Chains A and B, each alone.
Chain A
Amino acid sequence: DTAVSQTPKYLVTQMGNDKSIKCEQNLGHDTMYWYKQDSKKFLKIMFSYNNKELIINETVPNRFSPKSPDKAHLNLHINSLELGDSAVYFCASSQGAGNMNTEAFFGQGTRLTVV
């Protein structure tokens, strides 16, 4: 029973294409996140949603657009892919701030390679 699941696990695509990564959590959490892990394995937040509303939008090119149809899903759409977008993208979820337990759970990651 996967708590946070992302699809696809691997994505290889050409420059200029548009692609989406899907994320679903079955933990009943109200906050979801997208993180990017660069080639040096450093994890940095991209977006945070709480109850389908955007809370955090770090300095990310506007080619990246998150969409949360409901609080169990947070998808990431990327337009006009560039070589520098190659990275591993992680989805995560937790209870929102104000809850006692905000333990975060992560998906298995999507390795995006732009060629």
Chain B
Amino acid sequence: KQEVTQIPAALSVPEGENLVLNCSFTDSAIYNLQWFRQDPGKGLTSLLLIQSSQREQTSGRLNASLDKSSGRSTLYIAASQPGDSATYLCAVRPETGANNLFFGTGTRLTVIP
């Protein structure tokens, strides 16, 4: 069964730093991978979707990469801002049983002004 792990569980950085969040998954037979952010008490906001055939996706200061064969994805945030403080979740959609998303455990990011 697919298991998704995110490291670190929590991260604090000073404003302006670049940072990397990690996501690993045990079964490489995925359809795509999606990164979300969740603010406290709020829903999930989709950040980036990477198809299994893609290596990376970019949106503004965010860059997500995917190495499907090794079961890894990273989310790179450039020039972090206090407004980036949130929990970041990755989720994989399997090739079989594709009407499902398996979520990671999340990384809680705090950007200190």
Picked from A31, A45, A50, A90, the residue with its CB within 8 Å of the CB of B43 is: A90
Given the interface pairs A43-B89, A97-B31, A109-B42, the reply to whether A103 lies near B49 with Cβ below 8 Å is yes
Give every chain B residue within 8 A of A41 (Cβ-Cβ): 38, 87, 105-106
The residues in B between 15 and 47 inclusive whose CB is less than 8 angstroms from any CB of A are: 31-32, 34, 36, 38, 41-46
Given the interface pairs A42-B105, A109-B42, the reply to whether A102 lies near B31 with Cβ below 8 Å is yes
Main secondary structure of the interface of A (DSSP, over half): strand
B99 touches A104 (CB 8 A): no
Q: Which residue of A lies closest to B43 (CB)?
A: A108
Q: How large is the interface on B (under 10, 10 to 19, 20 to 34, 35 or more residues)?
A: 20 to 34
A101 touches B49 (CB 8 A): yes
Check: A75 CB closer than 8 A to any chain B CB. no
Question: Bound state CA distance, A97 and B49, in angstroms?
Answer: 15
**Could you mark each residue 76-87 of chain A with 1 if its beta carbon is under 8 Å from any beta carbon of chain B, else 0?**
000000000000
Check: A44 CB closer than 8 A to any chain B CB. yes
Q: Which residue of B lies closest to A31 (CB)?
A: B99
A109 touches B43 (CB 8 A): yes
A55 touches B99 (CB 8 A): yes
Check: B60 CB closer than 8 A to any chain A CB. no
Minimal beta-carbon separation of B97 from chain A (angstroms) = 7
Give every chain B residue within 8 A of A90 (Cβ-Cβ): 43-44
For the complex of A and B, 3 pairs with smallest distance between CB atoms: A97-B98, A108-B43, A106-B44
Picked from A56, A103, A111, the residue with its CB within 8 Å of the CB of B100 is: A56
Check: B91 CB closer than 8 A to any chain A CB. yes
Given the interface pairs A42-B105, A97-B31, the reply to whether A104 lies near B98 with Cβ below 8 Å is no
B103 touches A43 (CB 8 A): yes
